[in-house]
Amino acid sequence: MYGTGLLKGLSITMKNLVKPGRMFTLNQYPDRKIGLIGLAKMQNTNALAFAVKKPGTAVKALVGMVSVPDRMPQHGRFRGEEFSWYEQRCTGCASCAKYCPLGIIRIVTHPSEQQIPEGDKYFIDVFDIDIGRCMFCGLCVEACPYDALHMGSGFEEGKYRRHDLVINKQMLNESPKRPSLWFRPQIEGKDYHPHSHEEIEWQNAGRHERPTVEQQQERWTER
Amino acid sequence: MTVKTEPVTINLGPQHPSTHGVFRLRVTFDGEVIVDVEPVLGYLHRGSEKLAEGRTYVQIVTLTDRMDYIASMSNNLAYVRAVEKIAGIEVPERAQYIRVISAELQRIASHLMATGFLLNDLGALATPLMYCFRERERILDLFEMLCGARITLSYMRPGGVFQDTPPEFWPALEEFIGNMPTYIDELERLISGNEIVLTRTRGVGLLNDVDAVDYSISGPMLRAAGVEWDLRKADPYEIYDRLDFDIPIGALGDTFDRYIVRIQEMRESIRIIRQCIDATPSGPIRAETPFFIRPPEGDAYAAVESPKGELGFYLVSDGGISPYRCHVRAPSFINITPLREMLLGWKMSDLIIIFGSIDIVLGEVDR
Amino acid sequence: MDFSETGILSFHGIYGIFALFLPGWLAYAVTCGVLAFIVINAMVMSTALYTWFERRMIGRFQARLGPNRWGPFGLLQPFADVIKLIVKEDTTPSTADKIVFAISPVILFAPTVLTIAIIPFGENTFLGRLNIGVLFLIGVTSVNTIAVLAAGWASRNKYAMLGSMRGVAMLCSYEVPMALAITGVVLIANSLSLYDVVQAQSVPFLIVQPLGFLVFMAAASAEMSRTPFDQIEAESELGAGYHTEYSGMKFAIFQLAEFMAPIVTSILAVVLFFGGTRGFDPIPGQLWFVIKVVLVLFGLLWIRATWPRLRIDQIMGFAWKGLFALAILNIFVIAIEVMLFQDGEGNITTRGMWTMAAVNWVITIAAIAIMVNVLGGKKLERPTPKPSPLANMYAEAD
């Protein structure tokens, strides 16, 4: 009958109201309101014991005023900021700079005098990435032949000035080495997630078929 | 007594809640009735086609993301198909399947967005929009698993896709495909039978099949006019000739038909994905291509059925590392050409929903 | 005004206290001020609470959470909003009609609050027991048409102008079915006083005359421009409608009046159709009143969260072709029934009420079924899709 569609629509919205199972997959970033039961579970007690021990906090949790930090759930392949860069692996070939569609990677090198374990290599004077213009396409990571550059996994690098967004060699060296799994199948299989707190050493970040030092030196002498 | 009236000209846009971007319409109203419409384009022109001439073939993939930014996968697919055609690259079969799955997922996401915003234009206080976004969110999660991004995907490369699917992708996709039909049913029960929606949309914004073909309309808008034409059947690309699916068509070519065709296309997309899941072989996902592709001199045009219509890329190569010319046949841009004829004589409220039912993306219109 | 029978929270109660130590005229003025202060602030506070309720509930309807950051369950969110609106710059367009621009928020706000003056909130809780309450109500609520027109005109903005023009046409049209729907109530209650209306509802009028209730609710939701009749604002078409150019505190007052309107409408619906303060005993009448108001508010919210809006000509057609006819039918039926069932003093027994209810439900369902199928039946038929011959997709490729 004409007119029943309106009532059907009302029943759908009511179903969504009373059935909370189909909420958005939203996390309450940056912190999440936590109820009394959740709070007690975090402290490894039950709700009643917790309420007896800390009545003030319990009441606060009951009215929804206690929050715990939370972060967005991301897949390990998330292409984020804070590039992970291993200076030990980088030869200064500037493939990344050439491959970048926006040309925002700047590399200045000079021939290295010191003995480097990785074979032929330039010493890197400058390695700047202008995050402010970066679109996180990941082509630089795809281009890197020695797996020295990885995407990061963060997204909270807000700054007040544009030039603060340029990350230089020092910042790249000091930043935590938690590379994203993007285009790095070799670390994807290792039961590693960028959000877990262990960092990846430079020896473990590369591809298996990467030539060893001997092979490289051999190749060098052949030339 | 006679009352002196005069038409009033209103700028709808470029900043307006319902122009789906920075689109501007100079509309002349006689009271509430539209007597003249003049679309003004170009507020989002970024010169993508010109930029493409200065970039290598792989780098242009990132530009295509930003054209139809709510259906990046389809844009990627159309572009890489053009490059493969001009450079003669053979794509591995697994890559083709993955590309079809992701393109169909993108079609569902885009149609959900179109439906939600159409209802928002109808004034439904964002409730259907939120339901649509809830399901779209799951698709974006799948995309994040595939390529680490949610909107600007850059997933495809000439010769395949850049990275194989992670192991957790397939169970998640199965779950999504299992649940999605019930979600669409729920959406349809909320919207399709609603008498207010029917009164607002039925018979409004008519575009018949002759006009649609004359204006070279494509996509759901053409099929709503009753023309059973779909590039996936008319000129099967990738593996679409192996798949079994129907082309939904509308009866009159009004706003309601455009909506219902989109809903039915989502169901067809689910059918396609289900067939693909069973058939996807293992193997390489990317043909061996050099970093800097140098196609031979010549030109190529490759088109796919994007959620908005026929999306084609025309590339001219001079043998260098970047195309000599890159032209995009953007469905959004061509689909708004009959806007004036569709709008004249309707009311202001109808303007919003007719415009909403065309489902344009300004990034693609202005490029 | 007839202040002969007044309650505790009433004009005479407070006047009596002030008259002990103040001269008569001053006590009168002070009482007026005190009462106005109490009523306006109570209404503003309940509106603030209602905005929180509305946003929370609509969030839940839309599978979201709604505001939950400020205070327990986000209860302080309205205050954060008010602070934000106060500190915002109050701009006036340079071409605007400054005086009209400035006073139209107040014109919209005032009648909404005035309505409260005559509402019986409880057995002895009311401000003034006006013997022509219903008439006062209809008169006062129609003032907001002027405010909408003034705001739209003074803004010198085409969107605002379109919105206010729609508003005037719509509000004027819906006055008629609303007044006619209330007439049915007056006929049964045999009085224009809202207090008597409540007293007459031994069976809630919602049950006795469902048709009147439906017409009243439809007309009232158009009067306060809520979905499906929110063409005045129509945020997807006109930006914000008649208050497009307003900002800062003026905008806040518009919003206040707009969010107060559902509360007032619910209160009226409760008084006229839900038996007002009547309920069973352990719970006091005032609490019954609040419970019923919240229920009606929830119903309005539910509709707002679900339905899209109609076009302006469809809205006008609905008023004149649909609601007007239904309201006339309602009055006709009620008048005949009242003639049959009313005794000499103008009272109707409970048994008579139930008989009327039974008859009216049948009439209501039949009338609505006929009405919707006459008005919208044609739209049901639709041709089956036929593939157009223009598609030559299976033709041989050249």
Helix (H) or strand (E) run with residue B170 in it? helix B169-191
A91 and A53 within one domain: no
Q: Is the pLDDT of residue C203 over 50?
A: yes
Specify if A148 maps to a domain.
yes
In the predicted model, what is the mean pLDDT of chain C? 81
Residue B327: beta bridge partners?
B314
Q: Is the pLDDT of residue C162 over 70?
A: yes
Closest CA to A183 of A106, A107, A84, A94: A84
Asked whether the beta carbons of residue C227 and residue B350 sit closer than 8 angstroms, the reply is no
Spell out which residues of chain C touch residue B250, defining contact as CB-CB under 8 Å.
385
Give CA–CA dist B66/B88, Å, rounded.
Answer: 26
Give CA–CA dist C239/C243, Å, rounded.
Answer: 9
Domain containing A197 — which CATH number? 3.30.70.3270
Residue B34: beta bridge partners?
B29
Give CA–CA dist B362/B335, Å, rounded.
Answer: 12
In this prediction, residue C69 has a pLDDT band, given cuts at 50, 70 and 90, of: confident
Residue with tokens 């192991």: B167
* Domains in chain A, number: 2
Question: Which residue among A73, A99, A115 closes a domain?
Answer: A73
Give CA–CA dist B102/C252, Å, rounded.
Answer: 47
* Domains in chain B, number: 1
Residue B293 is encoded by which pair of tokens?
């592709």
Chain C residue with Cα closest to A10: C306
In the predicted model, what is the mean pLDDT of chain A? 78
pLDDT at A20: 67
Specify if C380 maps to a domain.
no
Specify if C91 maps to a domain.
yes
Q: Cβ of A135 under 8 Å from any chain B Cβ?
A: yes
DSSP state string for B298-328: EEEEEEEEETTEEEEEEEEE-SSSS-SEEEE
First to last CA, chain B: 52
Spell out which residues of chain A touch residue B147, defining contact as CB-CB under 8 Å.
77, 79, 182
A144 and A42 within one domain: no
- What average pLDDT does this structure show over C285-306? 86
Q: Is the pLDDT of residue A43 over 60?
A: yes
Report the share of chain C in percent with pLDDT over 90.
0
Specify if B48 maps to a domain.
yes
Spell out which residues of chain B touch residue A95, defining contact as CB-CB under 8 Å.
291
Question: What region, left, alpha or beta, does residue C299 occupy, with left being phi > 0 and alpha being psi -120 to 50 degrees?
Answer: alpha
Tens of pLDDT, residues C207-230: 888 888 888 988 888 888 777 888
Sequence length of chain A is 223
A168 and A87 within one domain: yes
Closest CA to B130 of B200, B172, B186, B181: B186
Domain containing B312 — which CATH number? 1.10.645.10
Are C238 and C79 contacting, i.e. CB atoms less than 8 angstroms apart? no
Q: Is the pLDDT of residue C4 over 50?
A: no
DSSP state string for B88-141: TPPPPHHHHHHHHHHHHHHHHHHHHHHHHHHHHHTT-TTHHHHHHHHHHHHHHH
Residue with tokens 């309505």: C115
Which chains have 3+ CB pairs within 8 A of C? Answer: A, B
- What average pLDDT does this structure show over A128-138? 86
DSSP state string for C249-270: HHHHHHHHHHHHHHHHHHHHHH
Residue C38 is encoded by which pair of tokens?
């109490």
Give CA–CA dist C334/C235, Å, rounded.
Answer: 39
Give CA–CA dist C120/C278, Å, rounded.
Answer: 11
Give whole-number Cα distances, A180 to A88, B218, B273, in Å. 18, 40, 28
Q: Strand A67-69 relative to strand A166-167: parallel, antiparallel, unpaired? A: unpaired
Specify if C385 maps to a domain.
no
Spell out which residues of chain C touch residue B190, defining contact as CB-CB under 8 Å.
306
pLDDT at A25: 59
Helix (H) or strand (E) run with residue B278 in it? helix B255-279
Tens of pLDDT, residues B262-272: 999 999 999 99
Are B73 and B153 contacting, i.e. CB atoms less than 8 angstroms apart? yes
Q: Is the pLDDT of residue C128 over 70?
A: no
Specify if A127 maps to a domain.
yes
Give CA–CA dist A140/A94, Å, rounded.
Answer: 9
Nearest to A8 among B152, B189, B198 (CB): B189
Specify if B2 maps to a domain.
no
Give CA–CA dist B345/B29, Å, rounded.
Answer: 9
- Residue A123 three-state SS: strand
A179 and A105 within one domain: yes
Give CA–CA dist B341/B103, Å, rounded.
Answer: 32
- What average pLDDT does this structure show over B28-57? 87
B31-40, B100-109, B341-350, C338-347: segment of lowest average pLDDT: C338-347
Please give the model's pTM, rounded to 2 decimal places. Answer: 0.87
pLDDT at B270: 92
Spell out which residues of chain A touch residue B193, defining contact as CB-CB under 8 Å.
4-5, 8-9
- Residue B30 three-state SS: strand
Residue A154 is encoded by which pair of tokens?
């963060």
- Residue C42 three-state SS: helix
Per the structure, the complete domain to which residue C43 belongs is given by 11-370
Asked whether the beta carbons of residue C61 and residue A22 sit closer than 8 angstroms, the reply is no
CA C201 to chain CA centroid, Å, is: 21
Q: Is the pLDDT of residue A51 over 70?
A: yes
Specify if C41 maps to a domain.
yes
Specify if B1 maps to a domain.
no
Give CA–CA dist B147/B94, Å, rounded.
Answer: 16
A146 and A69 within one domain: no
Residue B364 is encoded by which pair of tokens?
């693609």
Which chains have 3+ CB pairs within 8 A of A? Answer: B, C
Specify if C271 maps to a domain.
yes
Are C358 and C206 contacting, i.e. CB atoms less than 8 angstroms apart? no
Nearest to B228 among C239, C376, C387 (CB): C387
Give CA–CA dist A68/B153, Å, rounded.
Answer: 32
A182 and A135 within one domain: yes
Specify if A4 maps to a domain.
no
Q: Is the pLDDT of residue A216 over 80?
A: no
Residue type, A188: E
Closest CA to C254 of C371, C164, C350: C164
B45-49, C249-253, C392-396: segment of lowest average pLDDT: C392-396
Closest CA to B165 of B279, B289, B288, B285: B285
Torsion angle (degrees, nearest 10) of CA A178, A181, A184, A185: 130
- What average pLDDT does this structure show over C267-293? 81
Q: Which residues contact A37 (CB under 8 A, 6 or more apart)?
A: A47
Give CA–CA dist C365/C329, Å, rounded.
Answer: 13
Are A103 and B64 contacting, i.e. CB atoms less than 8 angstroms apart? no
Give CA–CA dist C85/C91, Å, rounded.
Answer: 12
Spell out which residues of chain A touch residue C379, defining contact as CB-CB under 8 Å.
2
B33-47, B297-311, B348-362, C333-347: segment of lowest average pLDDT: C333-347
Specify if A223 maps to a domain.
no
pLDDT at C2: 41
Asked whether the beta carbons of residue C309 and residue B122 sit closer than 8 angstroms, the reply is yes
Q: Is the pLDDT of residue B98 over 80?
A: yes
Spell out which residues of chain C touch residue B229, defining contact as CB-CB under 8 Å.
391, 393
Spell out which residues of chain B touch residue A76, defining contact as CB-CB under 8 Å.
166
Asked whether the beta carbons of residue C227 and residue B349 sit closer than 8 angstroms, the reply is no
pLDDT at C1: 38
Phi, then psi, of A130 in degrees rounded to 5? -90, 90
Q: Is the pLDDT of residue A211 over 70?
A: no
A19 compared with C362, residue with greater pLDDT: C362
Tens of pLDDT, residues A142-172: 888 778 888 888 788 788 988 888 888 888 8
A162 and A65 within one domain: no
CB pairs under 8 A between A and C: 50
Report the share of chain B in percent with pLDDT over 90.
7
Residue type, B280: T
Number of Cβ within 10 Å of residue A162's Cβ equals 11
Helix axes of A4-18 and C24-61: crossing angle, nearest 10 degrees? 90
- What average pLDDT does this structure show over C132-139? 85
Specify if A6 maps to a domain.
no
Q: Is the pLDDT of residue C270 over 80?
A: yes
* Domains in chain C, number: 1
Residue type, A46: N
- What average pLDDT does this structure show over B213-233? 87
Are B162 and B58 contacting, i.e. CB atoms less than 8 angstroms apart? no
Specify if B318 maps to a domain.
yes
Chain C residue with Cα closest to A12: C306
pLDDT at A26: 66
Are B311 and B330 contacting, i.e. CB atoms less than 8 angstroms apart? yes
Closest CA to B311 of B244, B232, B257, B249: B232
Are C122 and C286 contacting, i.e. CB atoms less than 8 angstroms apart? yes
Question: What residues of B are in the A interface, CB distance below 8 Å?
Answer: 55, 58-59, 61-63, 65, 127, 130-131, 133-134, 137-138, 141, 144-149, 152, 154, 162-164, 166, 186, 189-198, 291
Specify if B204 maps to a domain.
yes
Residue B271 is encoded by which pair of tokens?
């059918």
Are C52 and C67 contacting, i.e. CB atoms less than 8 angstroms apart? yes
Closest CA to B351 of B340, B362, B361: B340
Specify if C384 maps to a domain.
no
Specify if A98 maps to a domain.
yes
* Max CA separation in chain A (angstroms): 87
Asked whether the beta carbons of residue C73 and residue A64 sit closer than 8 angstroms, the reply is yes
Give CA–CA dist C152/C316, Å, rounded.
Answer: 20
A105 and A187 within one domain: yes
Give whole-number Cα distances, A69 to A34, A74, A110, C221, in Å. 10, 15, 45, 43
- What average pLDDT does this structure show over B276-291? 84
Number of Cβ within 10 Å of residue C345's Cβ equals 6
Spell out which residues of chain C touch residue A70, defining contact as CB-CB under 8 Å.
none
Residue with tokens 């352990």: C282
Count CA atoms closer than 13 A to C269's CA, side-chain side.
30
C282 compared with B251, residue with greater pLDDT: B251
- Residue A52 three-state SS: helix
B280-294, C250-264, C271-285: segment of lowest average pLDDT: C271-285
Per the structure, the complete domain to which residue B28 belongs is given by 8-366
Tens of pLDDT, residues B148-199: 888 888 888 888 888 888 888 889 899 899 888 988 888 888 888 888 888 8
Chain C residue with Cα closest to B231: C393
Specify if C130 maps to a domain.
yes
Asked whether the beta carbons of residue A182 and residue B147 sit closer than 8 angstroms, the reply is yes
Question: What residues of C are in the A interface, CB distance below 8 Å?
Answer: 57, 60-65, 68, 71-74, 302-303, 305-307, 368-369, 372-373, 376-377, 379-380
Residue A111: beta bridge partners?
A122
Specify if C4 maps to a domain.
no
Give CA–CA dist B31/A198, Å, rounded.
Answer: 67
A167 and A194 within one domain: yes
In this prediction, residue C290 has a pLDDT band, given cuts at 50, 70 and 90, of: confident
Per the structure, the complete domain to which residue A164 belongs is given by 80-208
- ipTM at complex level: 0.82
Asked whether the beta carbons of residue A75 and residue B144 sit closer than 8 angstroms, the reply is yes
- Residue B44 three-state SS: coil
Residue B328: beta bridge partners?
B313
pLDDT at C267: 87
Specify if B239 maps to a domain.
yes
